[in-house]
């Protein structure tokens, strides 16, 4: 089997961490019946520098032609003064929309070796394993109309920013199915997070989730308001198995959940469309503060590569080999600076990649 992966390193630490994930993918497929063909492209600020646009036509064509996309991260302070449509983040929104990536899967799990890295008490987070399923192509991030307009308030001319949040039944149903299918392979619990006491979009969201749940009688569905969910995530996160929510709420809750595990440098993500194509990237950003220093943690990207093998290529066996190798490296006490305590051996980005490759072999 031959598959093409488009690698988009992006900005900041992106090139450093994707390089290690590519090495790990090469190592894990060595001698297997899966041959990977890597194609490299530009996105974000790097694409703006090279082609004058954060999501150039060539990247779009390559993304649609690839079997999967592995992305580093985009953004950096040098691009903050650009007009909004040219900002690096628009590259991300662009590729999500172009590939129709409506489902974002973000596991938040705590490796037992890192229990001390969490800011919460070990007993609250030990054994944590939750999956956040975030709707990714709808809601306020994409809704039209949007913009900044001039309005008159009490005779005074003021600028007013406005965004629109809308969801149709189809959009809610398909993300609901992704969550219920995932729960079937886990602990069979889905918590749908909304703000149905205030928002009409949430009222419909809840109604459709209840409808989808009828097709999954083995899965227990609960509903929670987003403000309560934010609180429950730090109070007792282990009550959750799968959380499903809309784009904006999911953006915030998944970052919050990621910190339960100590470092955002550990958490992978997958964004899927309905054709099995996916984009895989770490949950963190481009970390401009440590870019180029060789100290970034590549494990979130390496674990994203494992998700790529599992979800886009149906190779859970190879994904598990990567996950086991990561766990073995942590057992050896190797840590990049973000997860390092006095008792550990501090390693660089490349040394961490070396260690995972060695553990695989
Ligand atoms: P960030 O995730 O880049 O960094 C937050 C903190 O975590 C920083 O201290 C950083 O050094 C640290 N960190 C992040 N990843 C790390 C890793 N792999 N290893 C070690 N430490 C790591 O978030 P930010 O600082 O809010 O944003 C920086 C830039 O990234 C901005 O331009 C933002 O727009 C962009 N961003 C991009 C994405 C993405 O590409 N998906 C996501 C979030 C933010």
**Digit-coded pLDDT (tens) for 31-44:** 999 999 999 999 99
Say which CATH number the domain at 250 has.
Answer: 3.40.718.10
112 in a structural domain: no
Q: Are residues 69 and 164 in the same domain?
A: no
pLDDT of residue 222: 98
Q: Model pTM? A: 0.89
pLDDT of residue 276: 78
Summarised one tens digit per residue, pLDDT across range 207-217 is 999 999 999 99
The alpha carbon of 314 and the centre of ligand 1 are apart by a number of angstroms equal to 30
- Using DSSP, state whether 65 is helix, strand or coil: helix
Summarised one tens digit per residue, pLDDT across range 97-153 is 899 999 999 999 888 888 887 889 988 998 899 999 999 999 999 999 999 999 999
Q: Are residues 248 and 128 in the same domain?
A: yes
Domain coverage including residue 350: 1-103+265-361
Distance CA 262, CA 69 (A): 27
The alpha carbon of 321 and the centre of ligand 1 are apart by a number of angstroms equal to 27
Indicate the average pLDDT of the chain: 95
185: pLDDT confidence band, cut at 50, 70 and 90? confident
Instruction: Give the total number of structural domains in the chain.
Output: 2
- Which residue has the CA at smallest separation from atom 7 of ligand 1? 287
Last residue of one domain, picked from the residues 261, 285, 301: 261
Last residue of one domain, picked from the residues 211, 234, 261: 261
- Using DSSP, state whether 103 is helix, strand or coil: strand
pLDDT of residue 82: 94
93 in a structural domain: yes
Lowest mean per-residue pLDDT among 52-61, 115-124, 130-139, 247-256: 115-124
> Who contacts 12 (Cβ-Cβ below 8 Å, separation ≥6)?
72, 73, 75, 76, 285, 286, 287, 288, 291
Is 10 in contact with 44 (CB distance < 8 Å)? Answer: yes
Q: Are residues 188 and 138 in the same domain?
A: yes
Residue 320 Cα distances to 28, 113, 351, angstroms: 10, 18, 21
Number of H helices, E strands in the chain: 12, 14
| pLDDT for 263 beyond 80 | no
- Which residue has the CA at smallest separation from atom 11 of ligand 1? 287
**Cβ neighbours around 62 below 10 Å, total:** 19
Mean pLDDT of 191-203: 98
341: pLDDT confidence band, cut at 50, 70 and 90? confident
Distance CA 100, CA 94 (A): 10
The alpha carbon of 89 and the centre of ligand 1 are apart by a number of angstroms equal to 12
Is 258 in contact with 281 (CB distance < 8 Å)? Answer: no
Mutate to test the pocket of ligand 1, among 14, 72, 75, 271 (most ligand atoms within 8 A of CB): 75
**Cβ neighbours around 315 below 10 Å, total:** 21
Distance CA 103, CA 323 (A): 22
Mean pLDDT of 220-248: 97
For a pLDDT cut of 70, what percent of the chain falls above it? 100
């Amino acid at each position: 089997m031959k598959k093409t992966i488009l690698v988009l390193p992006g900005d900041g630490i992106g090139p450093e961490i994707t390089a290690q994930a590519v090495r790990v993918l090469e190592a894990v497929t060595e001698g297997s019946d899966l041959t990977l063909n890597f194609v490299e492209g530009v996105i974000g600020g790097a694409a703006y520098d090279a082609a004058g646009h954060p999501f150039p036509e060539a990247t779009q064509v390559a993304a649609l032609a690839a079997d999967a996309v592995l992305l580093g991260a985009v953004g950096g302070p040098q691009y903050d003064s650009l007009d909004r449509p040219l900002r690096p983040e628009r590259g991300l929104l662009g590729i999500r929309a172009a590939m129709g990536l409506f489902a974002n899967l973000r596991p938040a799990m705590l490796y037992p070796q890192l229990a001390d890295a969490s800011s919460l008490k070990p007993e609250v987070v030990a054994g944590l394993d939750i999956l956040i399923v975030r709707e990714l192509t709808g809601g306020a991030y994409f809704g039209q109309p949007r913009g900044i307009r001039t309005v008159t308030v009490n005779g005074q001319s003021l600028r007013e920013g406005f965004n629109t949040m809308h969801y149709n039944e189809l959009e809610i149903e398909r993300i609901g199915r992704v969550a219920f299918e995932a729960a079937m392979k886990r602990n069979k619990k889905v918590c749908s997070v909304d703000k149905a006491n205030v928002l009409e979009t949430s009222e419909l969201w809840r109604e459709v989730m209840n409808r989808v749940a009828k097709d999954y009688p083995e899965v227990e569905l609960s509903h929670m308001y987003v403000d309560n969910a934010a609180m429950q995530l730090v109070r007792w996160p282990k009550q959750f198995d799968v959380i499903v929510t809309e784009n904006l709420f999911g953006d915030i809750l998944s970052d919050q959940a990621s910190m339960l595990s100590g470092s955002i440098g550990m958490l992978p993500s997958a964004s899927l469309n309905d054709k099995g194509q996916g984009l895989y990237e770490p949950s963190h950003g481009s970390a401009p503060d440590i870019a180029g220093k060789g100290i970034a943690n590549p494990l979130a990207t390496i674990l994203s590569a494992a998700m790529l093998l599992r979800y886009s290529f149906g190779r859970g066996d190879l994904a598990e080999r990567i996950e086991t190798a990561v766990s073995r490296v942590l057992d050896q006490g190797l840590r990049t600076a973000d997860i390092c305590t006095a008792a550990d051996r501090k390693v660089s980005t490349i040394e961490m990649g070396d260690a995972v490759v060695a553990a695989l072999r």
